[in-house]
Amino acid sequence: MSAYRGRFAPTPSGPLHLGSLVAALASFLDARRARGRWGLRIEDVDPPRCPPGAADAILRQLEAFGLHWDGPVAWQSERHDAYAAALARLEALGLAYPCSCSRRQWRDHPVYPGWCRDGVREPDKPRAWRLRSDLGLRPVRWEDRLFGPQAFDPAELGDVVLRRKDGLWAYQLAVVVDDADQGINEVVRGADLLDNTPWQRQLQHALSLPAPRYLHLPLILGDDGQKLSKQNLAPALPDTEPEARPLLHRALALLDQAPPAALAGAPVDEQLAWAIDHWAPSRLRPALARGEDA
């Protein structure tokens, strides 16, 4: 088996919160336990969603929690040429096509019906690029390390957008190209991305790229039963080590790792050393954890 290469890939649309800490921590522990590499990729592929300073804030938060990454930080905003090459390759394979349709036009369909597959309908309008899902129709299958066997019918997935009408690269394309170029063979991330994985598997297949293994983590819910996220204003994590200690302990408990109570006030490096030694993904439950007073 090749050496473990994992990553944490936050979108810098705001500072990290407890939910993102859980994803960062689990992917870190999984990589460190396997004596693997743990990279950091800032997914700033959509600049209007990324306020200035947010990426720096994330780096400071990760440092405060002792989550030190290997190698230089990768930035999606610097990867235009790689994404363009992947799109050109898909186009040459007849697997990508320009599309002028707007959501409004196909709102009565569950997924985009592929009207532009054989030629753009309205050539004067701005166009997005989509992946053809109707060629080589085979169910998309993979085995998630926590959620088990997954199978999706390409007809349900539709023709995913690769490049948006405003010229920005779509998340699905960027993630697949980056994971492959960075040699990522283990993806550990939140279960909110489980339903994105079939498009990523499709794209890996279309581009003949190796598929990483996937472990999707239980989501952390706030008091209100909603997923913790920037949108529902989950509090930002601190960026100093003393303040990080109790939250790190909390995150380990949310990951069902049962950290000893005595470790709660310990320096983060000490907590992490314990957590790497005891990392047991088999303790995770494919249910939703509750962040309570998160």
Give the CA distances from residue 68 to residues 32, 61, 73, 164, 245, in Å, rounded to whole numbers and listed in that order.
Answer: 11, 10, 11, 34, 15
For the CB of residue 193, give the shortest distance to ligand GLU in the complex, in Å. Answer: 6
Ligand-binding site membership of 147 (annotated):
no
Q: Which is nearer to ligand GLU, 54 or 128 (CB)?
A: 54
Site for ligand GLU in 188-227 (CB under 6 A): 189, 193
162: contact with ligand GLU by CB under 6 A: no
230 as an active site residue: the answer is yes
Q: Is 174 in the site for ligand GLU (CB under 6 A)?
A: no
Choice between 11 and 271, CB closer to ligand GLU:
11
Binding of ligand GLU by 175 (CB under 6 A): yes
**Exposed, middle or buried, 123 (CB in 10 Å: 0-12/13-18/19+)?**
exposed
Written as one letter, the residue type at 152 is F
Residues linked to residue 143 through DSSP beta bridges, in sequence order: 149
Q: Does 9 bind ligand GLU (CB under 6 A)?
A: yes
Instruction: Tell me: does residue 43 bind ligand GLU (CB under 6 A).
Output: yes
One-character DSSP codes across 196-247: GHHHHHHHHHHTTPPPPEEEEEPPEE-TTSSBP-TTTTPPBPP-SHHHHHHH
Given the rule CB under 6 A, which of 5-13, 202-210, 226-234, 283-291 is the region that contacts ligand GLU? Answer: 5-13
CB atoms within 10 A of CB 221: 17
Whether 219 and 147 have beta carbons less than 8 Å apart is answered as no
Span from 9-17, 51-59, 107-115, 223-231 in contact with ligand GLU (CB under 6 A): 9-17
What residues are designated binding site for Zn(2+)?
99, 101, 112, 116
**Residues with catalytic roles:** 230
In the complex, the residues that contact ligand GLU under the rule CB under 6 A are 9-11, 43, 175, 189, 193
